[in-house]
Amino acid sequence: ISEAVAFLTEKNAKVPQQDEATYYQTAQITNDRYISVGSQADTNVIDLTGDDKDDLQRAIALSLEESNRAFRETGITDEEQAISRVLEASIAENKASLKRTHTEVWSDSPNPHDRKRQENCPVGLKNVGNTCWFSAVIQSLFNLLEFQRLVLHYSPPARMQDLPRNQKEHRNLPFMQELRHLFSLLVGSKRKYVDPSRAVEILKDAFKSSESQQVSFCHLHTIIEWGEKPKNPMVDLFYGRFLAVGVLEGKKFENTEMFGQYPLQVNGFKDLHECLEAAMIEGEIESLHSTENSAKSGQEHWFTELPPVLTFELSRFEFNQTLGRPEKIHNKLEFPSMLYMDRYMDRNRDITRIKREEIRRLKEHLTILQQRLERYLSYGSGPKRFPLADVLQYAMEFASSKPVCTSPLEDVDTTALPGGTTAQLPPPARQGSGSGPQAQQQQRVSIHKPFTQSRVPPDLPMHPAPRHITEEELRVLEGCLHRWRSEVENDTRDLQASISRIHRTIELMYSDKSMMQVPYRLHAVLVHEGQANAGHYWAYIFDPHQQQWMKYNDISVTKSSWEELVRDSFGGYRNASAYCLMYIDDKKPFLIEEEFDKETGQMLSGLDKLPPDLKEYVEADNKLFVREMEEWDTLQARKLQQEKLALAAASVAHDLEYMEQQSPTGDSKHLQEDTERAISKAAAEHDEKSPEALLNTAVKVEYTRLLRFAQEDTPPERDYRLQHVIVYFIHNQAPKKIVERTLLMQFADRNLGFDERCKSIMKVARAKLELIKPDEVNMEEYEMWHQDYRKFRDTTVFLLIGLELFLKKSYVEALMYLIFAYQYNKELLAKGPYRGHDEELIAHYRRECLLKLNEHAAVLFETGEETEVNAGLSIMNELVVACIPLLLVDEMEEKDMVAVEDMRNRWCSYLGQEMEPNLQEKLTDFLPKLLDCSTEIKSFHDPPKLPSYSTLELCERYGQVMTSLTLSRTPADGR
C-alpha cells in the first residue's frame, strides 16, 4: 500500500495535461475500480495488495486512460474505500507540502515512585512522538479480552517449513512478537505506563510511512493478520459479509463482499442510523459508461454476516479541491450506546423496505406540515416576519387602546431649534381637514428636545392608538381578532402535535421486538481533536465489570462518564469528535469475559493470565522496576542520613550565627533594631533587674509586639509575615519550642548593640541556647520551618518581580518569575492555607501572561515575515507550549482550561486560511505540540537568580505593586 501511495504521488508530476482536481479524481477511480480485497464478484481485477509492481503500474496506466470516463463499479468493499481515503489524504498532503515532525517527548519523572502503577488501575502507553493514535487503537483492541487472549497466546511458527512465504507475512512476525510483549506488560506491569517504541517502529518500518498516522491506523487490522485468512481468527472477530444487490444499466446484479471497518460519511447526517441508511442505499445515478445509454443504476447493501466486533470508520476528513488540502468536518453526529442492526440484515430485507417506504412517506408528510407551521410562525411578506398569533394580538392591543384626537406632534412646546432654525413638518392628516392652499402649506413646529427641556409635555401620546373608532366598530373588530387568534393558536398546536407524533412514529419504527434481535453495545470510541493536518488522539473504552467508561489518553488512564464521552465525541464542542466507533455483539459475552482457571474455577488476573514465556518476560521487567525504586530509596535515604549527620555536627556557634548569616528576614540590621528596641522597653519597665530577668522581659515584649501584628487584619499590600519570621510562625501555628528558640536566637546575635546591657543579655541568651537539650527541640523540624519561611520570602520576591514586569508589559521576562512563584506557593499551601500567598491571584497573572504572549506570538506569525514568524513560534515553543501542561494538570481550574482552549483555537483558526507554503509547513510542524493533551510537566531550567532585598525594601516594594494591582483592577479581571 505504501508503494502505491508513493507511486501515485510521484506520478502527479508526470501528468501535465491534468489539473489537480482531475488527477485527484483519477487516483480515487484507480482505487475504487482496480483495488479489490476479497471480492467474489469480479475475478478479472488487478490486486494491489501483493508485491507485484508490474500489476501496480498496469493499474495506474489503465486508470489514466479512462480518466475521462469516471465511474464507480458496484461491489466495492469497505477496505477498498479505506485505502482510497488514505491515498486521497496522502496525495493532498504531498501537494500541500505538509510535513509532520515528532512532538517533543516528555521525559519521565526521575522518581520511579511517580511512575508506579496504582492497584487495579489500567496501564497507560507512553507517547514517544506523535503516537497518541497508536495508543488509542491499541488500548481499544487490548480491552477486547478475546482479542487480548488471541495475541497473548499467539505462537509463531516453530519449524522452518512453516514460516510464511511472502514478504507481508514475514513482516507481521516481529510485530506480533512485540505486540505480545506490549500486551503482557499492559496486563501485569507494575509501571503506571509502558513504552511502545519498539512496536511503533516495526509498524512504521513495515509501511515506510512514519509521517502518516492515517495510513498506519487504516491498516492496523491488516498488519496483525497472521497466517492465511481461512486460518486467521482475526477474520472471525473483525470481518463480516454483506450482499450488494441492485441494477446496473438496467441489468440486475448480486455480489457478496467481505468487510472489516465499515466506512460512513458524516457530512449531512445527524446520527449514526442516518449515516448507515445512506451507506446501505446508493440511490439512482446516471451511468457514466456511455453518453448514449442513460439507464439508471443503483444498489443496496444488506449484511448477511456481522462480525462479533463491528467497527465503523467515521469519515470526518474531506479533501478541499479549491485549497488543495484535506479539511476536518466538525459537524455534530450522535450515536447510541446500544445499536440494533436488525434493519440492515438481509433476512429482514422485505420488512425493512416496507418500513423505509413508510418512513419516506411520513417524512414527505412531515415536510408539508413543517412548511405549513412555518407560515404560522413566520408571517409576513417582507424581510421581517413574526408569529401570526402575535400579529393578531398586537392588532387587538392597538384597537383596544384609548382613542386620541390629536396628532402626536401637536401640543408640543414651541421653541426654536439651535442656531435659530426651526423644523419644517407637514400638518397632520385629519379627518375632515380642508384641501386649500393654507392646508397644504407646511407649518412651523418645534421638536421636543429631551436633553434641554425639564419634562415631557403631559398631553403627548405615549403609544400609538386609533384616532377615531366607534364602540360598535371596536366590538366587531375585537371579536374578529380574538376569534382569529384562537383559530391560529389551535391550528399551530395541531400542527406541532402532528409533527411530534410523526417524529415519534419514525423513532419507534424499528422498536418492535422482531427488529431488536441483533444488539451491539458500544465498546470503544476513538476521538481526534484538532484539524485535518494536526491533532491529538485518545479513546473512551467501556469497562463492563466496573460498569464504568474509562478515558485512555496516552500515559493517563482515568475514570470518565457517558456525559464526558458525548461532549468530546459527538462533535460541535471545541475541535474534538469521534472518528472510529467499535461496537461488540451483546449476545457474545466471550468477547469481554475474563478467563477462569479450569481446575479451581477462579478468575485469572494479572500474571496468571499470561503464558509462561510472557510471564517470565513481565516478571523480569517488574524486577528491573522494583530495583529502580529500591536504588532510588537507597539514594534518598543516604542523602537524608547525610543531612542528619551534617545537622547534628553543626556547632552551637553555627546556631548562634544563623540569625545573622542565614536570617530568614535577610536583614540583620532590621532585626537588631527590633531587638534593641525590645531591650530598651524592658529596661524602662525594670531598671534594676538582672540580665536574665531583662532577657525574659524583652522576649515577652518582642513576642507581644509580633503577636499583635499577627492578629491584625491587614490588606494584601501590608503583609506583616514579611516583616518577621515569628509572625509567619504564629500565623501557621508553629510549635512553641520552635518559636522560643527562634526568639532566643534573635537576642543571642553577637552583632547586637555595643553597650554593656545588650552584651550581658546576649551572653545570657547564648547560655540558654547551650542548655537546650537535643530532645527538647527537633532540629530537623526547626530547620524545616525556617526553610519554609525562606521559601515564602523567595516566593514573594518571584511574585514581586513578576508582577512588576507584567505591569511594564514585559511578558517574556515576567513569565518565569510568575511560573516559579506559583510553583513555590503551591508547595507552601500544601502544608497550610497561611504558608503562602493568594493562589488565585498568582494563577490569574500567570494565565494572563501566557495569554498575552500567545496573542503577541500570533500577531508576529500573521505578519508572514520570516524573522517575525520564527520569533513568534520561538515564544510559543519555548514558553507557551512548555507551560500549557502546568495549566492542564489541575482540571478543576476551569479558567486555566478555558485559557488553554482559547490559545489553541487561535492557532487552529489559521488552518482554514490561505498562506504561503513555508508558513503552512511551520504551522503544521508546530500544531501537534500545541494540541498535545499530555499533562506531563516539562522540567524547566533553574529559577531566575533573585536579588537580595532588605526587609524594609521588600515590604515597601511589595506594598507598592499590590496597590498598583488594586488601582488597575477591573471587573473584567474576574478578581
Enumerate the active-site residues. 132, 528, 536
Q: How far apart are CA 100 and CA 537, in angstroms?
A: 15
- Burial class from Cβ neighbours inside 10 Å (0-12, 13-18, 19+) for residue 568 reads buried
Map residue 551 onto helix, strand or coil: strand
The residue written with cell numbers 516478571 in the block is 619
- Burial class from Cβ neighbours inside 10 Å (0-12, 13-18, 19+) for residue 681 reads middle
Q: How far apart are CA 541 and CA 123, in angstroms?
A: 13
CA proximity to 849, closest of 896, 783, 791, 790: 896
- Burial class from Cβ neighbours inside 10 Å (0-12, 13-18, 19+) for residue 830 reads exposed
> What is the per-residue burial (b if ≥16 Cβ within 10 Å, else e) of 337-362?
eebbbbbbbbebeeebeebbeebeeb
Q: What sections of 889-945 are H helices per DSSP? A: 894-908, 917-931
Amino acid found at 876? M
Cα 9 to its chain centre, rounded Å, is: 34
CB atoms within 10 A of CB 962: 20
Q: How far apart are CA 232 and CA 237, in angstroms?
A: 9
Q: How far apart are CA 164 and CA 173, in angstroms?
A: 9
Judged by phi (left if over 0) then psi (alpha if -120 to 50, else beta), residue 707 lies in: alpha
Contact assessment for residue 311 and residue 591, using Cβ atoms and an 8 Å cutoff? no
Map residue 133 onto helix, strand or coil: helix
**Do β-strands 296-305 and 556-559 pair in parallel, antiparallel, or remain unpaired?**
unpaired
**Do β-strands 548-553 and 534-543 pair in parallel, antiparallel, or remain unpaired?**
antiparallel
C-alpha distances in Å from residue 500, one per residue of 363, 366, 369, 496: 12, 9, 11, 6
Cell reading at 740: 522560643
**Do β-strands 240-248 and 519-531 pair in parallel, antiparallel, or remain unpaired?**
unpaired
Contacts 24+ apart (CB under 8 A), 874-877: 875/812, 876/907, 876/926, 876/930, 877/926, 877/929
